[in-house]
A = this chain, B = another copy of it.
Amino acid sequence: MKPQRKTRIQQKNSQAILDAALEVFSRHGYRGSTLDQIANEAGLSKPNLIYYFPSKEVIHVTLLSDMLETWLAPLHSLDPAGDPIEEILGYVRQKLEMSRSRPRESRLFANEVLQGAPRIMEAIKGELRDLVDEKTAVIQSWIDEGKIAPLDPKHLLFSIWATTQHYADFDVQVSAVLGSGGNDHFPEAEAFLVDFYRRALTPA
């Protein structure tokens, strides 16, 4: 047998570690998380965990890098040739869907930015900022053509990030305020946000 880059068991364990680390880091932040918790969650011993990743920091950076592409994908897909209002509403829907399907990634990112983004500032000032510049230019052109209301495009994006990620990052507060047990609040959140943004964006 030729040597493989990773055996099946290594693939499985690496994945289990990253999944466990996402669970722990997303709730407790970097410094609030321990290798013991991660190893426990992954069903591995602490030294075995260190066999796969050389340090706590490497696990954290791996998670952040892995998620970045996924995180930016919805904004990438904003189509300059599409219908302006529907494009933006589609972006809102996709971002909310990310909060629904990947709440841990959202909280991981929120924790990192709250703490001053020490491990991800480079990407924020690079990739993210470039993409925002590109897409806000598109939104500005829609405004100039009178196709959507004249609202500052960058602050419009901030509002979309804030309102959609809120349902992942502040989930315990949302559930506590809405009551009604373990209900899924995303359908009514989507109905609200789509209606809300359509009203705000439709030109007078």
Contact = CB atoms under 8 A, between A and B. Distances in A.
A125 interface: yes
Interface of A: 27-33, 107, 110-111, 113-117, 121, 124-125, 128-129, 132, 149, 151-152, 154-156, 158-159, 161-163, 165-167, 169-170, 172-174, 176-179, 188-189, 191-193, 195-197, 199-201
Contact of A200 (B30, B129, B167, B196): B196
Given A166-B162, A196-B200, A199-B149, A28 B155 contact: no
A192 B152 contact: yes
Given A28-B29, A113-B172, A158-B163, A192 B151 contact: yes
A75 to B, nearest CB: 12
A144 B173 CA distance: 27
A149 B199 CA distance: 9
B115 A177 contact: no
Contact of A179 (B29, B110, B129): B129
B195 A151 contact: yes
A28 B31 CA distance: 7
Nearest to A106: B114
Nearest to A185: B155
Contact of A192 (B124, B128, B156): B156
A178 to B, nearest CB: 6
